[in-house]
Structure 1
Amino acid sequence: MLAGALSVSACQYSANSEKQGQAQASESPPEWENPAIFDQGSLADRAYFATFTDAQKAKTGTDRDSSLYHSLNGEWHFNFVEKPAQRPMDFYKPSVDVSDWPLIPVPSNWQLEGYDHPIFVNHGYAFPVNKPYAPEYNPVGSYRRDFTVPEQWQDQRIILHFGGVDSAFYVWVNGEKLGYREDGKLPAEFDITDVVKAGNNTLAIEVYRWSDGSYLEDQDMWRMSGVLRDVFLQVAPKTQLWDFHADASLKNDYRDGELALEVEVANTRTKAQDVTLKSAVYDGDELLWEKDTSLSIDAGQTSNVELGHVFPNVSAWSAETPKLYDLWLTLSQPGEDDQIVRQPIGFRSVAIEGGQLLVNGKPILIKGVNRHEHVLSTGHVVSRESMHEDIELMKRHNINTVRAAHYPNDPYWYQLCDKYGLYVIDEANVEAHGFGFEEEGSLGNDPQFKEALLDRVRGMVERDKNHPSIISWSLGNEIGPGPTISAAYEMVKEMEDNRIVQYETREQWYKEKMTDALGWMYAGIEEIETQYLGKYPDRPFIWVEYAHIMGNSGGNLKELWDFVYEHPQVQGGSVWDWADQGLYGTNAEGKQYLAYGGDLSPEGTRNAGNGLANGLVSSDRTPFPMLKEVEKVYQNIAVEQVDQGRYRVVNRNFFKDLSYVEGTWTLLESGTQVAEGQLPALDTAPQESTELVVEKLQNYAMSPDAEYVVNFAFTQGEQEGVIPAGHKVASEQFVLQQAPAAEPLQAAKDLTVEESDSQITISSGDVAIVFDTEQGRMTSYSVAGTELVKEGLLPNFWRALTDKDYGNKLGEKAASFYKDAGAQAEVTDVSVERDAGKAIVRFQLHFASLNSDGSVTYRVGADGAVAVDYQAELSPDLPEMPRFGLKMQMPDGFDQVAWYGRGPWANYQDRKYGADLGIYHAEVIDLYTHYIRPQENGNRSDTRWLEIRNDQGVGLKIFGDPQFDFSAHHNTIADFDHPIDGPNRHAIDIVPRPLTEVTLDLRQRGVGGDNSWGATPYEPYRLLPSKQQNWQLTLQLQPLQ
């Protein structure tokens, strides 16, 4: 219907197309192996909307509440075969009895209902490539159900709607073949008016797992099939409000709204019909405009109505201010109920000017995330409840954009984005990563798939054209460039030009324009500086994907966004990605776990392991610590310190002032709150700042023996959409006075030292400490008979490798040097001395695998306190270290943890901006982050002190001099460390041990962030002996009782 759109696709079913297909059957491949045939018999693409007969239901309900909507979801009879030749041939005939077939829920992935198996492939195909042919193993699902047509429907038009069937299917009603359709992420609609009868009717579909269309569906996700979205009947008069396009934009310096409305009314009667179309726009209950249009439509014809109106002084739609008006369309005709459509519309404009993406004239920033449609229990079948959960989490963590990766999402998702405010990059169901991007392989350069690709892009635009949240059409993902992509670009521009069109590629062999914006995936700062800045004055840079969140990652986000704020043409991007794509699996013991690639398919099936686990949230939507870093980096309020007690509050919003928040400040003295206050009411305009003076902070008398930190918090004043009142939308923290040096060790009056051939025992009061002189470590540290240490402070250079560590080959480079260096350290000298009420034990060490030396010195003072000084002089020829620190094991029962440092969630040196300094309490078990593949986790940075106690309050307090990183687990490092090429490991494989292993680090390697296949952490977060040879960690241990 849109300008430039074909009313009938290139392979639209026609009256004689089935006969033609029969005539050619002997010499032509089947439809599912013929890229020229992707749509037979279905109706032309149109917008998705709901039609009602009751205005109140139209106002308050969803499509499912309409009397014209009749769901066919539920239990269907189902037959499964592994090959097309095995499929039942006549099952679609009502006379064939299928009552003994098992039932399957619709919608569902049949792979999650006991048939076939899911396959996870990142790029490359899950079957042998021989385009355009499907593989020999090509399961077919045959579905049957009956439905009832009431007598009163006999004079109505009845449309059969499939929201999405993957990957290709045929459909029959009452034994009559209606057609064939590919593209499991767009609707297929069939007019069944003339093939149904009053009473019982039989619906049958035949679904193919693979088809020629599968070559266009090489997305990074589980490959599964079935009926994925709603199936329903839509009933309407035979003169029907068939389609419409509401283009709501801004004009006159973005003050006024302009509505360009095109409505298509279809008359499928055998005679002309007079109708009246009432068009109206409301703001709530206030009528802003209405227009009646009378039409006389000839039999079998359609009539298009074009209307326009300018609305002065509208409130514009944006992700920050998602103001919606209601467009009402009412079609009236004699003898029929009115057809009523309520379509929320938002006035907004999208353009590129001066090399920047502008929304409503403002150069917005894309604070985005990529989102696959995935639910842990139902796979690709996404409930509306789960969509609500996703949008709540996104909005509450300052995300303003979602990329529909990599296919059009369920229509309900866009309604939520319109309502609650998310910019959407809508993407066609097109990816051919497995063929590469060079001229010879690119499917963008393969003419046999051109029409199918164009059809997918066209269908997306037609279905979703009325959503203000969509600011960009994406032509697909990782297809490779070529004439087909530029043809798709031109087609969309002809269809409409009120959004940008984008496509990501770095390839330069094809020169025609394919995109309005550049967004090279995972481009680092250096690449953008050298390859983009100053070279593309007409196109903004917006990462299509960046910050690959695989496993324990999310590092250097702050650096990336500091770069964004420095360069106006770099306008953000979308993190990869939103949620892990785990599925439930069951192990040999019957225990349920989160499965990933290779877990659910037969041995030898191609898979990409845990490459599906790149989420900011887990498969069940539990937030990972990386989401808290995103929340902080994406926040729209910043605070800058001007001088003592004077601060600048910066409003990074583009469309609303700060009157929506309430601001507070708190002052912490060594982690404990000692003062607080309310900030004055703020009305700071968008992109402006306000200076504030906090008088109490200017005049506060700070003790020289304490550390002082001020926290600013901004909370939602009144509920807005899914953001409740009181929700913290932004925060900032400043250290006003650094922590002083640790208290010096006090002299003991009752210190005793006993030496034997293999150990040294030092006692002070009811504290006893034993050192093993052969191993060079502490073997006992007890207070009043309670053992605090099971295995003593051992030099430690190793961590359980993260997914990114594997990606950048850290293990290959470093394992032989560092993994066992501490455990295998040779004690070259032991000395004991007493000095002014202190006992000093020093172990000189040689690390053979490192060809380096080190020492650990223990100074024992009053009350059994121990100062620890660990040093190493490392060879400059060594590779990068994973960490530099000590580790120890405490006995069973030491479960209670408190610390003064960054928290409460796990953080690392390159991922700590979103973790504030404070005093936190937790149980050891809660410090474990459950990644789908176990790995290094649970670190806390910049720790001033740490306490670990048992239920009786006995334990250890550890001070840093000045700071350290720590982790505490009921498992060892080795429990989390597993070779990437070994059997899959899962969280249920991590069985808690009767101990608490504590790591105490000067520093640990950052987790990294740019990608997961080679990028290292940024240099400030790496431990490089080539740059620094002398390393030293200083701690003080104090028994607690």
Structure 2
Amino acid sequence: MKYHEDTQTLHVGTLSPHAYFVPFRAEQRVSDERADSELFELLNGEWDFDYYESVFDLPENFTDRSEDPPKGSIAVPSNWQLKGYDKPQYTNVRYPIPFDPPYVPDENPVGLYRRKYAYHADGLKRHLVFEGVDSCLYLYVNGNFVGYSQVSHCISEFDVTAFLKEGENEIACAVLKYCDGTYLEDQDKWRMSGIFRDVYMLSRAEGGVEDYTVTTKISADEKTAVVSVKVKTEQGCSAVIYAPNGDKIAEGDTDGAGIFSADVKDPQLWNAENPVLYRLEIFCAGEVISENVGIREISIEDGVVKINHTPIKFRGVNRHDSYPDTGFYAPVEKMKKDLELMKSLNVNAVRTSHYPNAPEFYQLCDKMGFYVVDEADIETHGCADVYNTFEWKDYNGIALIAGDKRFEKAIADRHERLVKRDINRPSVVIWSLGNESGYGDNFRKSAKFVRSLDSTRPVHYESRQKLDDGNDRDLDFVSVMYWDTDYVKFYPESEKEAYGRPLMLCEYCHAMGNGPGDLEDYWQEIYANANVCGGFVWEWCDHGIYTGKTDDGREKYFYGGDFGEVVHDGNFCMDGLVYPDRTLHTGAMEMKNVYRPIRASKNDGGFTFENKLAFTHISSENGWECRYVVRRDTKIICEGKISIDIKPMCAQTADIALPEMADGHITVDFDYYKNGENVGFDQIELCNVKREHIPNKNGCTLTENSREYIVSSDNMTVSVSKRSGMISQIEKNGVKLLEKPARLNMFRAPTDNDITAKNDWFKVYLDKAKIKLYSLSAEENCRENKTVKITAELSLGYAVYEPMARVKLTYEFFGGEFSLSAEVDIHEKLKFLPRFGVRFFTAKQLDGIEYAGYGENESYIDKHRSCKFGRYVSDVHSQHEDYIRPQENGSHFGTEYVKIFSSSAQLEVLSDMDFSFNFSPYTQEALTNAKHNWELEEGESNVLCVDYKMSGVGSNSCGPELKEKYRLSEKHFAFTFFIR
């Protein structure tokens, strides 16, 4: 057991890498289900298992069951850390072991897997296939060493025929947690080990197909195509091609070079919108191999990415093989659910971050229609920290291994295994050399090597940081992560090394927690720039590990550090569009509507509808429908349908009968449906006449005591504290509506995207701001009908620094309602505030809510594309978005009024200007201090925050800073709320 620290010995006893396939017997009826093949024997299930803390702890005769009987068992596939052995570790960038290549720690845990296998000689060879093992394996059959292999996310295949005996056999597999390949597998993910993908035995005929490659070529006019298959075998083969409708359209034998080609007239071309597939069957040595074939081409012309000669935009996401209960094991039904959800969210592309996904994932993508950026199992991100061990120099150190000759062979090997396994998948349109490993000669050579293996697809790689003077002209894309929208807007001028290449945002809009808040901004620029081929949101899912339920039934998900890891990156693995159980974040709903296939806009003659799809004719005949609703002040005044007929990437104008628009807030909603399923919407504001609220002036009286001013009228009593100048109680018909006094509020529970801004907020103690009251006065009969005015001058501060804000508060009481007006001056050195407004700590019985604003999802100034302006009725618990790491949530942007109520009381806030609010059973202090949602405890009151403004959420957890236009950075502002 010496190979795991030898960078020049990567595989021993393995078969050469080849295209993924499972043969059937020639006389069998083939199907898409490999389990139907009589030549396929799945070895998943319970295996005997022993865990050792170190490779040195393995017994000397560990393959001998009589000397070392198994002590336990484990499910295969699985990660042993999820089965009670060792603990999961989450780290993003940093290596979990000392950087000492090619060596790994002596305390290198080993999982010893063993099982019986019954063999009866039938003239067929036996190939034992491991689809994924982390990090490497030593294989033994009947005590004999068969071979060694590494590369966690690629297939290792062994011909074990010579090691088998008639009857019962013993298979033993020693899996090591670390090997020299660990230095190339530093991806942002949980670090877990074991046999985590399917294991099976293939029965193979002597002289059968060893490998094959399918290519398609389309004529310029797309009236003909050529489908070719080149087969590697020791004998001749025959092939048959079937059309999508099942008709046989070609058959014949391979020529002397092992090639069979067929002309296809009027081909039906494969694309993600219409993933039509032909079927190829290859007959050889008593076997038949069935392959789905998509006729398609990808090209780059003048910096524009095209599929089948048509410009394309990738509306993508990044995806790991990751599930809260099965870890790295991705059963087909779970992968299919992921892809079905993506389809429902208008996603058309997936980047397999940052390794090849399970083989069947690509077959699903072929059938369901996704463009795949297929990525090699390479990331050396930890080199950045290694290079800057004691003092930061620069980020180029990420390329330490990119030019290290010791790893040249391993990098090429991983690229070869990527390409050869997936070369026949039509869904794979781009090869990606890996992720965040810097650039150097190892990758330059390997880029050329990939082209030699497959010249039909372009080559992508993001990490262009270098420690040498070479260039990256071998790559077909300029690929960036998290650059701002100005870079996208002005590309290629914004990139000095563009060289006519298209731009890909391989990661953008970091979806961590409450976010992302800048999706629409990016797509305004992506659609406007032909040289930008699209982007892939980071990322698909939160990588929480399910650990059971609390006593009160709440599900518990762990993130980095929860297992006691010393080196970890906290909740940075909770950065997805969906929760671990695949419940949608509001960010996923935001993405769905930004990715919508139709976009509407107002023009002088009516409305323009743009078809953003590249190959789909959107029409009523094809199952598409456009419904509209016109509302005045949230009330429906007319509705109907528009007959749509829009060719791909074209537009249509239409008009609808609209009401007179002299007053009110008038909107029109266009909802788009495909076969009855809503695929997105547009809401266009047609009129929004400035509101002017005129309060009722029913008269009121003023009294006072040593602590409060008290204003009474219409069975309502409002108390204002002489200590703080704030409302201390509102009482209606004897019911007290507040549990404690209201407060001015500048803070929010930091979102994950407040990662940098929150440091400034905590530095000045924004979360602890206290009032200093300078003056307070009351004036009675200041208007007709005995109105009362109370004026307070105060500041907000805590310690060390000057006050953060100076405020003049004015209350004016009219009878059954009152106004709260504020004139605010913010300290000039405060960069921006998360919010400014008033917090009301309301009685628990007030748990219902009605509002007119953007809902019903949470909405922010930069994150409301999944929301419509309207009237909504809900309750306080439904307003809470349950992020696994608690944070600011549930706000509503563009609000005209909000009313909270119970069966016996209500409190309403409205304004002449739009405002934001949120209503929560949790205080912002509780949300700030809790590390997990299952640790949250409700307060003694519900909390209604009414804000002049709330800053946007952005995507700064791993992206650009929040745009200035979305910040509350004003230094002087004023607002008025009416309360009744």
- Fold conserved between structures, TM > 0.5: yes
Structure 1 residue 868: Cα displacement: 1.7
Change (3 A) 1:438 1:775: closer
Q: Which runs of 5+ in 1 are unaligned?
A: 1-28, 268-274, 295-302, 718-725, 979-983
1:458 aligns with one of 410, 416, 421: 416
Q: 3-state SS of the aligned residue for 2:367? A: helix
1:1022 aligns with 2:974: no
Note if contact 2:90-2:569 (Cα within 8 Å) is conserved in structure 1: yes
Structure 1 residue 851: Cα displacement: 5.7
1:92 aligns with one of 63, 67, 89: 63
Q: 3-state SS of the aligned residue for 2:336? A: helix
Q: 3-state SS of the aligned residue for 1:457? A: helix
Counterpart for residue 391 of structure 2: none
1:608 aligns with one of 569, 584, 588: 569
1:444 aligns with 2:416: no
Structure 1 residue 740: Cα displacement: 4.1
Separation (CA, whole Å) in 1 of partners of 2:905 and 2:375: 58
Note if contact 1:401-1:422 (Cα within 8 Å) is conserved in structure 2: yes
Counterpart for residue 685 of structure 2: 735
2:111 aligns with one of 130, 137, 141: 141
Separation (CA, whole Å) in 2 of partners of 1:321 and 1:177: 48
Segments of 4+ moved more than 6 angstroms: 586-591
Give the RMSD, CA atoms, in angstroms: 2.1
1:488 aligns with one of 442, 446, 467: 446
Q: Which amino acid aligns with 1:32?
A: H
Separation (CA, whole Å) in 1 of partners of 2:804 and 2:42: 72
1:799 aligns with 2:757: no
Counterpart for residue 955 of structure 1: 906
CA deviation profile, 1:327-365 (whole Å, cap 9, x unmatched): 12233x5xxxx4232211111111111111111112211
CA deviation profile, 1:886-923 (whole Å, cap 9, x unmatched): 11110112222221111111121111123211122222
Q: 3-state SS of the aligned residue for 1:871? A: strand
Structure 1 residue 611: Cα displacement: 1.1
Q: Which amino acid aligns with 2:627?
A: T
1:783 aligns with 2:783: no
Change (3 A) 1:528 1:543: same
Change (3 A) 1:520 1:876: same
Change (3 A) 1:257 1:89: farther
Structure 1 residue 62: Cα displacement: 1.1
Counterpart for residue 227 of structure 1: 195
Counterpart for residue 145 of structure 2: 177
Q: 3-state SS of the aligned residue for 1:514? A: coil
Counterpart for residue 349 of structure 2: 401
Separation (CA, whole Å) in 2 of partners of 1:314 and 1:530: 38
Stretch of structure 1 that moved more, 83-92 or 485-494? 83-92
Separation (CA, whole Å) in 2 of partners of 1:707 and 1:529: 33
Stretch of structure 1 that moved more, 808-817 or 316-325? 808-817
1:701 aligns with 2:657: no
Structure 1 residue 856: Cα displacement: 2.1
Among all aligned residue pairs of Structure 1 and Structure 2, give the percentage whose two residues are the same amino acid: 30
Q: Aligned runs of 1:638-653 on 2, under 5 Å?
A: 638-643=599-604, 646-653=606-613
Change (3 A) 1:1017 1:117: same
Q: Which amino acid aligns with 1:1035?
A: F
1:123 aligns with 2:75: no
1:345 aligns with one of 275, 293, 301: 293
Q: Which amino acid aligns with 1:560?
A: Y
Q: 3-state SS of the aligned residue for 1:432? A: coil
Q: Which runs of 5+ in 2 are unaligned?
A: 385-394
Counterpart for residue 813 of structure 2: 860
Change (3 A) 1:440 1:329: closer
1:31 aligns with 2:3: yes
Structure 1 residue 36: Cα displacement: 0.7
1:533 aligns with 2:488: no
CA deviation profile, 1:411-433 (whole Å, cap 9, x unmatched): 11111111111110000001111
Structure 1 residue 49: Cα displacement: 1.7
Stretch of structure 1 that moved more, 505-514 or 176-185? 505-514
Q: Aligned runs of 1:309-328 on 2, under 5 Å?
A: 309-328=262-281
Q: Aligned runs of 1:890-969 on 2, under 5 Å?
A: 890-950=842-902, 952=903, 954-969=905-920
Note if contact 1:585-1:595 (Cα within 8 Å) is conserved in structure 2: yes
Q: Which amino acid aligns with 2:261?
A: G
Counterpart for residue 245 of structure 1: 213
Q: Aligned runs of 1:212-223 on 2, under 5 Å?
A: 212-223=180-191
2:21 aligns with one of 39, 45, 49: 49
Separation (CA, whole Å) in 2 of partners of 1:505 and 1:772: 59
Note if contact 1:330-1:340 (Cα within 8 Å) is conserved in structure 2: yes
Structure 1 residue 953: Cα displacement: 5.3
Separation (CA, whole Å) in 1 of partners of 2:951 and 2:835: 6
CA deviation profile, 1:424-459 (whole Å, cap 9, x unmatched): 000000111111363795211011111111111101
Note if contact 1:970-1:996 (Cα within 8 Å) is conserved in structure 2: yes
Change (3 A) 1:964 1:55: farther
Counterpart for residue 387 of structure 2: none
Change (3 A) 1:929 1:444: same
Separation (CA, whole Å) in 2 of partners of 1:293 and 1:809: 65
Separation (CA, whole Å) in 2 of partners of 1:818 and 1:828: 23
1:471 aligns with 2:433: no
Separation (CA, whole Å) in 1 of partners of 2:29 and 2:858: 47
Note if contact 2:464-2:472 (Cα within 8 Å) is conserved in structure 1: no
Note if contact 2:509-2:959 (Cα within 8 Å) is conserved in structure 1: no
CA deviation profile, 1:103-128 (whole Å, cap 9, x unmatched): 11001100110011111111120111
Structure 1 residue 689: Cα displacement: 0.7
Change (3 A) 1:512 1:526: closer
Separation (CA, whole Å) in 1 of partners of 2:951 and 2:919: 17
Structure 1 residue 55: Cα displacement: 7.5
Structure 1 residue 484: Cα displacement: 0.8
Q: Which amino acid aligns with 2:15?
A: L
2:336 aligns with one of 377, 388, 393: 388
Separation (CA, whole Å) in 2 of partners of 1:762 and 1:478: 64
Note if contact 2:323-2:329 (Cα within 8 Å) is conserved in structure 1: yes
Counterpart for residue 658 of structure 1: 618
Change (3 A) 1:686 1:1000: same
State the aligned residue count: 956
Separation (CA, whole Å) in 2 of partners of 1:107 and 1:234: 18
Q: Which amino acid aligns with 2:601?
A: E
Separation (CA, whole Å) in 2 of partners of 1:186 and 1:165: 8
Note if contact 1:120-1:609 (Cα within 8 Å) is conserved in structure 2: yes
Change (3 A) 1:915 1:48: same
Separation (CA, whole Å) in 1 of partners of 2:396 and 2:723: 62
Separation (CA, whole Å) in 2 of partners of 1:825 and 1:316: 71
Structure 1 residue 132: Cα displacement: 0.8
Structure 1 residue 530: Cα displacement: 6.6
1:630 aligns with 2:591: yes
Separation (CA, whole Å) in 1 of partners of 2:804 and 2:18: 71
Structure 1 residue 872: Cα displacement: 1.0
Q: Aligned runs of 1:806-817 on 2, under 5 Å?
A: 806=755, 808-812=756-760, 815-816=763-764
Separation (CA, whole Å) in 2 of partners of 1:514 and 1:1012: 31
Q: 3-state SS of the aligned residue for 1:241? A: coil
1:889 aligns with one of 803, 817, 841: 841
Note if contact 1:70-1:233 (Cα within 8 Å) is conserved in structure 2: yes
Change (3 A) 1:875 1:65: same
Separation (CA, whole Å) in 1 of partners of 2:791 and 2:868: 36
1:1031 aligns with 2:970: no
Q: Which amino acid aligns with 1:738?
A: N
Structure 1 residue 316: Cα displacement: 1.0
Note if contact 1:778-1:791 (Cα within 8 Å) is conserved in structure 2: no
Counterpart for residue 299 of structure 1: none
Counterpart for residue 14 of structure 1: none
Q: 3-state SS of the aligned residue for 1:222? A: strand
Note if contact 2:561-2:570 (Cα within 8 Å) is conserved in structure 1: yes
Change (3 A) 1:440 1:215: closer
Stretch of structure 1 that moved more, 586-595 or 962-971? 586-595
Change (3 A) 1:440 1:73: closer
